[in-house]
Amino acid sequence: MLAVNPRPRAAPEDRASAALIDLHCHILPALDDGALDLSDSVAMARQAERDGIAVVCATPHIRDDHDVRIEELPARIAVLQRELERQGVGVRIAPGAEVAERAADALSPAQLRALSLDGGGWILLEPAPGPIGAELGALVERLAARGARTVIAHPERHAGAAFEEHLRALALRGCVIQWTADFLAQTPPDEPDALVLRLAREGLVHVLASDAHSSHGGRPVRLSPGIERLRAVCSPGQLAWIAELAPAAILAGEPVRAPW
């Protein structure tokens, strides 16, 4: 379990120095449904830098509707990293992937390791279309038996019957629940009892990520507005864990369990 010494979250004016990590971003160019080209990827990295994000995990889709070749990913990341360094963009691109629920069982142990977030053994797992069900929990158990820990991507897209019960069961299995920062940021301030805020109070919001796909539109590579939205319902220690401590531990390959 991650040992935590919570500290207050940085104030907005200090955010440029915060070590934020984006665990879910489609920043690699011309690969899946993410960045269109290298210039789009660089623009996304600049968005991240402006928001105080120091590390962006490149998480292309691993599923049958995208031709992503796992063995090519390190070279693609290296090309983007060199371009960022050439242009003076201070963001590190970490390896990773968004592994579809239906694709995970077919991956070899070596592939799972290669696709884990920064090589630390945590897999970003995309639930199958539709509501989250018991099948996802069973897959998590199979992955755990193969040595892989699991981050559950964007649960807000998979609400349905017994949604909260399934999230709690996943958390009890050791999963980290990753919500989309822009979804949090768009939650109206006059809805203090919105589902995601209530679940945050109950401890089922573990980390935020951008799930950005392009600088030309859609969700930006930005975490701080979503983090700020959580300030109304989370303690400073809980917010620091969500924003900084848990993502850093995931990249380090450490076991992570929410301390509340």
Cα–Cα distance measured from residue 82 to residue 32, given in angstroms and rounded to the nearest whole number: 21
Tokens of 144: 């755990």
Whether 176 and 122 have beta carbons less than 8 Å apart is answered as yes
User: How many Å apart are CA 98 and CA 89, to the nearest integer?
Assistant: 24
Write out pLDDT tens, residues 106-163.
Answer: 999 999 999 999 999 999 999 999 999 999 999 999 999 999 999 999 999 999 989 9
Model confidence, pTM: 0.91
Q: Which two tokens stand for residue 189?
A: 């301030």
Say if residue 238's pLDDT is above 50: yes
d(CA 11, CA 186): 20
Q: What is the pLDDT of residue 91?
A: 98
In percent, the amount of the chain with pLDDT more than 90 equals 85
What does the pLDDT look like over 19-48, one tens digit per residue?
A: 899 999 999 999 999 999 999 999 999 999
Q: Which two tokens stand for residue 170?
A: 């996943």
Domains of the chain from N-terminus onward: 17-251 (3.20.20.140)
pLDDT above 90 for 61: yes
